[in-house]
Amino acid sequence: MLVLAACALAVLSPLLAGRWPAALLLHRWRWPLLIWATLAIQVVVVEVPLPGGLAPVLHVVTYLVALGFVWANRHIPRILLVAAGAAANGITIALNNGVLPASAGAAAAAGVDPHTAFANSAVVDHPTLPWLGDVFAWPAPLPLANTFSVGDVLIVLGILLAAWTGTRHLDWHLPSRSNGKINDDSDTSTNHRPMPGPPAPHARGQEGAHQS
């Protein structure tokens, strides 16, 4: 949840500078269902009791699915940085029996419960590539307290850079109003032209002289 919230903030961050991530939000993503499948499987793995060693296997599968989505959209600027972060997490999880190893200090600082039925991140004995595990902590009692890894940092950083690439200015200006009506200098319709008035008196006199 912590990384997901950080990714959402990264996408919305251009709004703080009066810009919006047009290139990222208006892009036609390929295989978008893959990223939703990744999130759904992650929720099942963490929240639903699963038999045997199914949870660790599904945990690895989520990163394979996420990498498939990234590869399908590899032409997006900075998305390869996201791919590097996902690959770092996925490889480390695969080499540690489906769990991302966490440092004891980071887990204690974040208040992570070590007795969870399945923890996608946990303190393990003799981890492989421990420096790619959850070695950082967003400490309790801060909201969403949890541990995070180098791969997580790369994912959020890649999304942040992608969000700022191709941003556009937000147009906050409204049409100016005068006397309750919107000024429109481009209206050249004859409906707004003044009607001609009656002829001047001397002009009528001249006209009568010509007739006589």
**Mean pLDDT over each residue of the chain, to the nearest integer:** 83
The pLDDT, as a whole number, for residue 85 is 95
Residues 195 and 184: their CA atoms lie apart, in Å, by 20
Q: What are 35-90's pLDDT values in tens digits?
A: 899 989 988 888 888 887 898 899 999 999 999 999 999 988 889 999 999 999 99
CA gap 30, 83 in Å, rounded: 15
Are 145 and 158 spatial neighbours (Cβ–Cβ below 8 Å)? Answer: no
Instruction: Write the pLDDT tens digit of every residue in 7-39.
Output: 999 999 999 999 999 888 888 899 999 989 998
The C-alpha atoms of residue 162 and residue 92 are separated, in whole angstroms, by 25
pTM: 0.76
Name the residue type at position 148. F
How far is Cα 28 from Cα 35, in angstroms, rounded to an integer? 14
**Domain locations in the chain as residue ranges:** 2-169
Token pair belonging to 199: 């002829």
Q: Mind listing the pLDDT tens digit for each residue in 129-186? A: 999 999 999 999 999 999 999 999 999 999 999 999 989 998 765 455 544 444 444 4
Residue 61 makes CB contacts below 8 A (sequence gap 6+) with 41
Cis peptide preceding 14, ω within 30 of 0: no
CA nearest neighbour of 78 among 167, 17, 5: 167
